[in-house]
Structure formats: C-alpha cells, structure tokens
A and B are shown apart, each in its own frame.
Chain A
Amino acid sequence: MQVGFYFDQTRCIGCSACRVACKDWHDIPAGPENWMMILYNEQGKFPDVFVSYLVRPCYQCIDPVCIPVCPVNAISKREEDGIVVVDSEACLGNEECDSKCLKACPYNAPQFGPEKGAKMRKCNYCLDRHLEGKLPACIEACRTRALDVGTLEELKAKYGSIKEADNFKYSERTKPAIIFKPKQ
C-alpha cells in the first residue's frame, strides 16, 4: 500500500497554518527544521500577476532516493503504508555524512536542526496520528481544505491523477506520492 497527499493549489492562500500545526504537533522550534514548507512563486508584471503556493512536506516517495544514499541505512520505507521513516538515532548527523539524503532529495524534505551535527528528521505523515487512525496535523489545519491524504488509489479515484503543479517538477526517479489540482 502507498499513502500520499492531494494538494489543491487553486485553494492555497499560503497562510502557513499547516506549517505551524506541524511544528506544534511535532514540537519543533522555529528555525531551519521545517517538516512542512510553503514555496512561493510570483510571475508576470503588474497588474497581470500570477501567484502560486506549493506545500512541501515529505512526499513519501514511491522510490525514495534518500534511502540508498544513507551510509547507515537509517531511512526506510514502511511496507504496510509506504511512509518513509528515519531512525534519527542511527543517523550520523549532517556533518559526518555531508547530508547525503538532503542532497539526493529533489524536494529538500530531509531536515536538520540548527545545532552542529544535527540528526536528520522529516515529515513522517504524522505516523503517530496515522497509527491511531487520525489525519496528519497539516491536513486538519488547512483552513481552505486544500489538502487531503489517503492511499494513492483512493486519492486518484477521488481527485484524478495530475502529477504536475505550478512550481513543482515530478521526479520520475523518486516518484513523489502526491497528486494535484494545479493552479494555471
């Protein structure tokens, strides 16, 4: 089974409620470690302006490129749901291995705190909540209901299977588990 995200880009106001909910749930201080990021894109000239926002959690890729590059096999993909998890204790830290996972990931999902030798942590689809049958914190936090999760099959049945969105490039190599309603 493979879980994934759905993002309705036409609804996102970039408010960051998802981002703050994520930090609260996982108790992550303000700073460089962001399991959920919001990307901004502005195009055009006044008054014909185009703006889009893009959510960037860990997309729980189908073939995660972060896994093979980890020198100590600290990253793994759960068979039962496809969630990509990291054993932060096994992780060597960003200095010793030169953040190989982060360099491999086209979406900058692996995250490190500000301290020297910080261990990698990242969005884990709110695994603790998932195991209790709850939705990830970001999904429940979205004021505009632009986000959803489920198995990829369910999501495709519900929303179609568009793999591209503004400011997003689908990586055939790592196969991010996200589908979109893109903003055009």
Chain B
Amino acid sequence: MENQENDPIEEEEIIIRTTSAFDCGGRCPLRVHVKDGRITRVEGDDAEEPDQLRTCLRCRALRQYVYHPARLKYPLKRDGPKGEGKFKRITWEEALDEIAKKLTYVKKTYGNSSIFLVTGGGYLGALHDGTFALMRLLTQFGGFSTHYGNVSSEGSVYATQTQYGSPFVGNSREDLLNSKLIIMWGWDPARMISGTDTIYNLIKAKESGIKIFCIDPRYHDTAVILADQWIPIIPGTDTAMMVSMAYIMINENLHDQKFLDKYTVGFDKFKEYVMGDEDGVPKTPEWAAKICGVDASVIEQLAREYATAKPAALMDCQGPARSAMGEQYNRTAMTLCAMTGNVGRHGGSAGGGLMGIPYGHMFFGARIPPPYRNPVEVGGKSVRGSLDLQIRFIKRCHTNKIFDAIAKGKEGGYPFDVKFAWFVNTNFLNQLGNTNKSAAALKKLDYMVISELWMTPTAKYADIVLPVTSIAERNDITRPWPSGPYYTFNNKAIEPLGECKSDLKIAEELSDSLDLGEEKFVKYPKVDRILKTLVKMPADTRKNIRDFKKYQEEGIHRIKLEAPYVAFKKEIDDPENHPFKTPSGKIEIFSQRVADLKNPHNPPVPKYLSTWEDRNDPLIEKYPLQIISPHPPNRVHSELYLVEWLKEVAPHRAWINPVDAEPREIKDGDQIIVFNNRGKLTIEAWVTERIIPGVICIFEGAWYDPDENGIDRGGCVNVLTKDAYSEGGASALNTCLVQVSKLENWSG
C-alpha cells in the first residue's frame, strides 16, 4: 500500500479527450487514459461545476467495450447455415473483392434498386459514419434502395411536423427550473438520459420546490427520486387521459383562449371533439378513467393544477408515441401546451416528445454529402413538407418493414426486390418488430454484408462480416444528441484493433474495386483536414467553433447562452415576423394537410383512438397482458450488450406485478416464458409493485438467441412485438399483447 504514493502510472500515461458516438441520449466528455498504446482507465469531464457534464455508466465501461474478447478483429465469411454463427477468417482483399463482384452482378442482373442499404443509429459521428460513407459510394455506383422512419421517435417527428412544422420543440434543460410544475409523461431520463445531466437539472428543479408528476406504467427510477405523485397508466391510453384534461380545462374555463386565438388554428374543432359535439361522447374524466385506469379525480386534479400553475412544463417523451396511433399522444400533449399558453415561454414547454434544442442538435450534423441524389430515388413527388406517409413509400419501405420488404419485395407491394443487403450501424434483426419472422426473411435473402464490431444476432445471417473500429480508434466530431449547448470532438485514443477499419476507409477501399464509370470516389486520407471542413459545413458549428485546434485539444466546445433556449420564443414574442413553419403560419391543432389525407386513423385534430392489441382487442382473451419495451438502463439499445460490467449491474428481467404473478404461481426470480402468436422468450421474473397490473416490461436490446424449438433464450423482446407502424410512421413496438407462464408449468 505504501508504494502507491510513488506509483509511476501518472508519469507514463497520457490523457486523450474524447466522447462516445452511441445513440444513447447524451454526449459526455471523457478523459481516456492511455499507456503503451492501451486504454487503462476512463474518467469523465473535468470542467468546474456547474458546467461539468457527467457521463453515465455506459461510457464508464468504455474500456471493457473496446477490448471485449468478442470484438471482431478480422473479416469473416459465413461457413455454415445462416444464423448459426459459423464463420471463417478471410483477408480484406478477399472480402472486398467478393462484395465488389456481388454488387456488380446484382446491378447488372437486377438493377440498382435491388441493392438495399440498411442503416441505424449505431454510430453518430460525422466522418466515419458508415451510413454516409456507403450512401455516397452506392450513389456513385448507380444508386440503392433504403428505408424511411426512425424507430425511436418517428411518431413524435410526425406530430411536431403536423402542429409546428418543426422538430425543434425542446427548451434548455436548465429552463425546467423556471417552471412551477413539471409533468413527466412517459419520461425516464435516469435511464435514457435525454441530454447529459438532464436528470441533474430535474433534481435541482425538484429541490427548489417545483412539483413533479410522473405518468407512466412503471414507477421508474426517475419517479423514485422526483415524483411528488406517480400516476400509473395503462399503455396506449395516454391520449385519452390528455383529452379528458382538455375537457376539464374547457369545462372550467381554465384554458388560455387569448393564446389559442392568437397563435393556433383549429382549436374549435378539437373542442367539438372533446366536448362531444362531434360524436356525442363528452370526453369527461369518467370517460377517460374507464380507458386509462386513472381515477377521474386524479385526472381532474392534474388538469386543474397544470392549467393554473403558470408556467408549467408538460414533458411528453417518445415512448408512449412508439405505439399504434402514437402520433395522437404527442399531438394532444402539444395541444395542451397551447391551451395552457405554455409554448414559447420560459418555464413552459412546447411538448412534442423530441426535446431537442438547436445548439448542437444531431439533426444538424455534418457529413460528406453524395455528389448528387441517389439515382434510384430521383424523380416523382417531393416528400418535403408532406404529411402523406405513403409518398415516402413510393421509393422506400418503412423501417419497421425492412424484413418484410426483404421477404416479399415487389410482390408484397414494396418498391424493390432485395438481392443484396448491406447492414451498417444496426442490429435490426434484434431491434425491429417480429424477430422470428425477420430471421426467416434473412434466411432467404440472396446476399448480405454487415459492418460490425460484434457477432450480433443480425450479423450471424451475413455472408460477409466486416470488422469496424470503435470510437476509441477514430478521430471524429460528434454532437450532444438532442441537447447542447456544446459540440464534442473525438480524439483517437488507440490504433485499430486487429484488422479493423473505419467505415469510411471500407467505402474508400471498396471504391477501387467498383466500376464507377467516369467518376472518382473522393477519398479523405488527411482526417484532420476533412474534420476541419466538416466543422465549417453546418451553420451552427461554422459560427460557433472559430478555433478548431482548441476544440480538438479540449475535446469539446461549450457555448454560453445568455438565457436558456426556449423553443418557438420568436414565434410567440413576435408572431408577425416569425410565423410557425406550418401552412397557416400558426400552431395547427387542426391540420388541413392531415385532413386532406382522409384517413380515419389519422384525424386532422388529435383524438384518442382504440387500436389493435389494446385492451379492447378480442385477442386479449388469449394474450391478456400488455408488454412495453423501454430503452435499457445499462446499454444503448443492443449495443454494449456483452459488456460484463454493465450486465452485472442490471440483470435482464421481466417486470411483473404480484397481481399478475400470483395466479400464475410466479415468484420473484423464477424463469418465465412470455409468448404470443409471434414468438416465445424465456426470462427471469422480477415481481415488483412498481408496474401497473396487466402490464409486463422487458427492456429492449437483449440479444436474440433462439433454441432448437424456436424459443428465444436471450430475452429479446422483439420476438413478441409486431413489425407494424402507425399512420404517422411510429414503430408500434409498445403495442403488443402477450401471455406469461412460469416456465416449469408451461406445456407449450
């Protein structure tokens, strides 16, 4: 012990300033200790408080992630049946040569639309992102097919486009301290981060005396420390409760009619629906109580408190929108924000789920663009500004239909037949609905390449697996996900492991073997130079980051805002000069663009609509429990799944209320089987009072591991979910009915 005083480590170690590029909800400065070319430890931000940005457990385990023995280090070629995971090592030359030959063959034989690029959120850096590198290459190769809609938040994106014409609906997190009341609806930042240090700002708000309500099927860890009141709610019924809150406000004249008159269109039509003038059903709290399971008195009290506490922040996160008719939930929340006059005000909120601010938002991220539009998608109707989802599917398939499109192609009504698929930044077999059906589709797919760090459940179906570098092995620039205000720089900490290459490099090397005609695929061997260019590309970094060298050295560029950012402040303070980006220039509670679609499942004013696989579905006789699959607390979706430090702190378990466990003889810690007509999985039961009866919760992202009987032993929740999307494009993964049995009592 005495020797520790003279520990020589400090003298030899160097500190590399970087961050992650995970789709994790935050972006946190890291100081990575490197000795003799190896990462030895990871520390967080060292800025003085209150500017310090504290990383979560995920990046605390970065070292174990980077050096995990399961990391792929060499190119692999499948050497057994698809899905079994048998591969042999090949050289890069062999791998790229085979891919080039296949691409050329598919292009010649079937045309470019049969080349399918499947991309996800696995890497969110600007330069080495394989999504953009491959889009650029395949565009120059004659084009490719791809998919539309992000799995996490498409319902919220559609809803915000409908009512505000903009996805930038968030306020600075510190603005929460200006609220008098905060409603956290389906929002659990303890787990899903939602911007680095969001939870800390909420704690400060709570400790300053601001009342906080948490509405959620689960008493989650955020509610544990923040909730003055937890209001448990039946999944998929949030909109009904919100609509009845509107009823109370209208009935008791608590709404801000002046605000509605000045800034919105269509409130009268919404009012007709709410009061029952339209359909003869007044949306009273008693009406809602029967649907959502929340006592009418609780709804009344919340509606009154929310309407009269000015300002108040209704924070409707994206999870409840990840369901059938999910768009209605965010639309109704935005309508409540307008009814209470809280849009564009400090301490208020605009609603809409996305919670992003435009200082560092990843939506503005730089990339090296393709020289021209993807030839496969050129022509036809413009999708810009349209709320007609179907025109997006003239060229693309919905993301939650990727595997259905692979299986059925044009015969199934999709715009292309897939003969070659390249998966990058994604483990979608695991992460989209109906995994068993998807696996069957992959078995029949002609040819598949995947760029990966791991032998994921998806990678097991590939013909060629290309090993890519981790963030620690790359220089890149990254953004703080939904909330800044800052920009991060990733300094390369170590050399690539094994024969791993960056996604950019893979595209560059492959370009040598592809016939691009007269064209040249531009390569960027001087990384620092192109990163400098990428910083100058988007308006916000061009304006804010004047000293590239300092930004690189410090690994972060922080911005000081004079006041917390508030979404739509300009539009509210000066509506003459700053109309909303909607056709009317106002907040569209009634949307003519949606009305024109004449789709009863996508009404022009937000409404509660019963859905498939809710508690009214006759299927409930057979599958009496709803299942929800929130983001996991200890990994990023399915990324980091194998990291033992993270695995041990949060065992993969199914939440089940004693009310549901006891009649099934299920005790805490028992192995159970969760099943429906799409799949079966086994998992440990966690019998807890923290979940509403009738609902099971399994965090998404555990790796699919089917046994010989097709029962998933990995606890991948998507063997149960449906590959369906809602009318506005939300992946309906939280709309799902199941049955549960104690495994030893289960007879199949």
Contacts and interface: CB of A to CB of B under 8 A. Distances in A.
A24 B221 contact: no
Interface string B687-705: 0111111000000000000
B232 interface: yes
Contact of A24 (B60, B658, B692, B693): B60
B689 A17 contact: no
A49 B5 contact: no
Nearest to A83: B1
A45 B42 contact: no
Nearest to A47: B232
B492 interface: no
B649 A19 contact: yes
Q: Which of B54, B60, B197, B200 has the most C-beta atoms of chain A within 10 angstroms of its own C-beta?
A: B60
A30 B644 contact: yes
A21 interface: yes
B63 interface: yes
A47 B230 contact: yes
B595 interface: no
Contact of B634 (A16, A53, A140): A16
B56 A15 contact: yes
Contact of B645 (A30, A87, A132, A137): A30
B645 A24 contact: yes
Contacts of A124: 1
Given A15-B633, A49-B219, A24 B61 contact: yes
B240 interface: no
Interface in A106-122: none
Contacts of A27: 41
Contacts of A23: 645
Contact of B190 (A15, A45, A137, A140): A15
A83 to B, nearest CB: 10
Contact of B646 (A20, A42, A131, A140): A20
B43 A140 contact: yes
Nearest to B4: A128
B692 A46 contact: yes
A76 to B, nearest CB: 9
A21 B645 CA distance: 10
Nearest to B196: A143
A132 B659 CA distance: 53
B649 A16 contact: yes
A20 B692 contact: no
B281 interface: no
Given A17-B57, A24-B41, A44 B689 contact: yes
A145 B200 contact: yes
B161 interface: no
B197 A13 contact: no
Interface in B604-634: 633-634
A144 interface: yes
A14 interface: yes
Contacts of B7: 128
A142 B54 contact: yes
Interface in B357-398: none
B644 A127 contact: no
B203 interface: yes
Contact of B1 (A17, A44, A47, A127): A127
Contacts of A142: 54
Q: Which of A38, A44, A46, A52 has the most C-beta atoms of chain B within 10 angstroms of its own C-beta?
A: A46
Interface residues of B, number: 48
Contacts of A175: none
Q: Which of A13, A23, A30, A128 has the most C-beta atoms of chain B within 10 angstroms of its own C-beta?
A: A13
Given A15-B56, A20-B646, A31-B648, A144 B1 contact: no
A149 to B, nearest CB: 15
A24 B63 CA distance: 8
B690 A42 contact: yes
Contacts of A45: 689
B408 interface: no
B689 A11 contact: no
B726 interface: no
A141 interface: yes
Contact of B199 (A29, A52, A144): A144
B351 to A, nearest CB: 25
Given A20-B57, A47-B232, A144-B199, A13 B190 contact: yes
A106 B625 CA distance: 42
A39 B650 CA distance: 12
Contacts of A31: 648
Nearest to B54: A143
B225 interface: yes
Contact of B57 (A11, A16, A47, A52): A16
B125 interface: no
A10 interface: yes
A30 to B, nearest CB: 3
B88 interface: no
Contacts of A29: 644
Contact of A132 (B10, B224, B658): B10
B657 interface: yes
B60 A141 contact: yes
Nearest to A88: B1
A115 B41 CA distance: 24
30 contacts: A10-B225, A11-B203, A12-B225, A13-B199, A13-B221, A15-B633, A17-B56, A17-B57, A19-B649, A20-B646, A21-B57, A23-B645, A24-B41, A24-B42, A24-B60, A24-B64, A24-B645, A25-B41, A30-B645, A42-B689, A46-B693, A49-B690, A51-B221, A87-B1, A132-B10, A137-B43, A141-B44, A143-B56, A143-B200, A144-B225
Which 5 residue pairs across A and B have the least CB separation, nearest first?
A30-B644, A16-B649, A20-B60, A13-B190, A17-B57
Interface of A: 10-17, 19-21, 23-25, 27, 29-31, 38, 42, 44-47, 49, 51-53, 85-87, 124, 127-128, 131-132, 137, 140-145
